[in-house]
Amino acid sequence: MEKAIAVEGLYKVYHPKRADKVIAVDHITFDGHFGEILGILGPNGSGKTSTIKSIASIIDFEEGRIEVMGQDNRRRRKQIVQHIGAVLEGSRNVYWTMSPLENMIYFAGLKGMSKRDVQERVDKYIELLNLEEVAHKQVRSFSKGMQQKVAIACALIADPRIVLLDEPTLGLDVETSRKMQTFIKEIAKEQRHIMITSHDMRFIEKTCSRVIIMKKGKLIADDSVKNLNQFFRKQAFKLTVRNHLNTPLLKEMEACCEFRIESHEGFTELFLIFNDSQALYSVFDILRKYNIELLGVDVIKDDLEDIFLKLINGYLTNNGEERQ
- Reported as a single tens digit per residue, the pLDDT across 71-103 is 999 999 989 998 999 988 755 678 999 999 999
CATH annotation of 234-313: 3.30.70.260
Phi, psi for 297 (deg, rounded to 5): -130, 130
Least confident of 68-77, 117-126, 197-206: 197-206
Query: Is residue 321 predicted with pLDDT exceeding 80?
Result: no
d(CA 283, CA 274): 11
Q: What are the φ/ψ torsions at residue 63 (nearest 5 degrees)?
A: -140, 160
- Contact in structure between 193 and 35 (CB atoms under 8 Å): yes
Instruction: Tell me which of 3.40.630.30, 3.40.50.2300, 1.10.150.120, 3.40.50.300 is the CATH number of domain 3-231.
Output: 3.40.50.300
Length of the chain in terms of residues written: 324
Q: Is 293 left (phi over 0), alpha (psi -120 to 50) or beta?
A: beta
Domain locations in the chain?
Answer: 3-231, 234-313
* pLDDT given for residue 135 in this prediction: 95
Neighbours of 16 (CB within 10 A): 10
pLDDT for 308:
57
Which one has a higher pLDDT value, 215 or 68? 68
Q: Is the pLDDT assigned to residue 322 strictly greater than 60?
A: no
Would you say 238 and 283 are in contact if contact means Cβ atoms under 8 Å apart?
A: no
Q: What pLDDT, on a 0 to 100 scale, did the predictor assign at position 305?
A: 54
- In the predicted model, what is the mean pLDDT of the chain? 85
Burial of 255 (0-12, 13-18, 19+ CB in 10 A): exposed
In this prediction, residue 4 has a pLDDT band, given cuts at 50, 70 and 90, of very high
- Measured N-to-C along each axis, helices 144-156 and 100-110 cross at an angle, to the nearest 10 degrees, of 30
- pTM of whole model > 0.95? no
With b meaning 16 or more CB within 10 Å and e meaning fewer, what string describes 136-146? eeebeebeebb
Q: Using 50, 70 and 90 to split pLDDT, how confident is the model at 315?
A: very low
Give yes or no for a contact between 106 and 98, defined as CB atoms under 8 angstroms apart. Answer: yes
Query: 3-state secondary structure string, 243-292?
Result: CCCCHHHHHHHCCCCEEEEEEECCEEEEEEEECCHHHHHHHHHHHHHCCC
Region 181-191: what's the mean pLDDT? Answer: 87
pLDDT for 203 equals 85
| Residue of higher predicted confidence among 275 and 51 | 51
> Is the pLDDT score of 318 beyond 50?
no
Tell whether the model's pLDDT for residue 302 goes beyond 50: no
306: Cβ–Cβ under 8 A, 6 or more apart, which residues?
43
At 9 the three-state DSSP class reads strand
pLDDT band of 117, cuts 50, 70, 90: confident
Please tell me the predicted confidence (pLDDT) of residue 319: 37
Give the distance between the most distant pair of CA atoms in the chain.
Answer: 79
